[in-house]
Amino acid sequence: MMSFLLRIYLPQSMGPLDEYPPWVYELAYFSPAILFLIYFVYQRIAMSKWEKGIFPQKLGFNKNNLMKAYICLAARLIQVDREGAKEKLHYLHSHFNRYFEEEEYDIADALRFSSENPVRIKTGALWLNAKLSNEQRIQVLYFMVGLCFVDGSLNAREYALLNETVEILGISPKDYQSILSMYQQRHQRREEPQKQTRPSAIRLSSQILGVAESASLDEIKKAYRSMAKLHHPDLFATEGPEQQRIAQERFVEIQTAYEILEKRRLS
């Protein structure tokens, strides 16, 4: 056994095995145990951070870790508003199955762990801020707002967590309001069409494009072109399918808002 370990760890150019000093044999004998101990300590430190509610900032960037961040944020949002929890869990599974369909990840187990060891929003948002582009961070917010709107509204605690996340991610108030209005518009159109009056549709559409309700047609077109340059799905042609689909959904809401305002000005 000792000879086998020495053959692995030491190059043949160092001479016959019987010429090595005793400490070399001891090192070869104990090295597997030392490596295991180092790995165990590293894992334990990482686990202690999770248990303290800290998203590890040194965690490398890949799709699995990105999903961990998404799930940690989702668990915190569900924790502060359990109304419609079943529907929110369905939203999570649908979202990840649709946008991360190629990833093998136990969503239920990860969500259970995150619920038992809730991560501070600040630490998860800091990791995302360091790893993602501005547009990708906007898509994270799009996901979070969508989760909150599963039950049709935002409560004060959800709103506070979203505000904290927006500040850390460096998302502009204009983009934040636009996303909130997109979901309000979508919710009214799908779930409460009787509440989608002309004034409310104009108000939400104006907020989505970031213009005043009294904006002229030229101002509306300018705002639409500006948003198209930032959010058109073609800009995500080199991104993963999940990013492309989110961009497509968001752009549909931008187009709908533009059509509502354009029709108002032309009528």
Top-confidence residue, 45 or 95: 95
The 10s digit of each residue's pLDDT in 144-198 is 999 998 888 888 999 999 999 999 999 999 999 999 999 888 887 776 666 566 7
Q: Exposed, middle or buried: residue 2 (CB in 10 Å: 0-12, 13-18, 19+)?
A: exposed
Say which DSSP state 54 is in. Answer: -
pTM of the model: 0.71
The 10s digit of each residue's pLDDT in 143-159 is 999 999 888 888 899 99
Q: What residue ranges define each of the domains in the chain, with the CATH number in brackets?
A: 2-51 (no CATH), 56-171 (1.10.3680), 172-267 (1.10.287)
Residue 39 pLDDT exceeds 70? no
d(CA 138, CA 176): 8
Q: What are the two backbone dihedrals, phi and then psi, of residue 87, each rounded to the nearest 5 degrees?
A: -65, -35
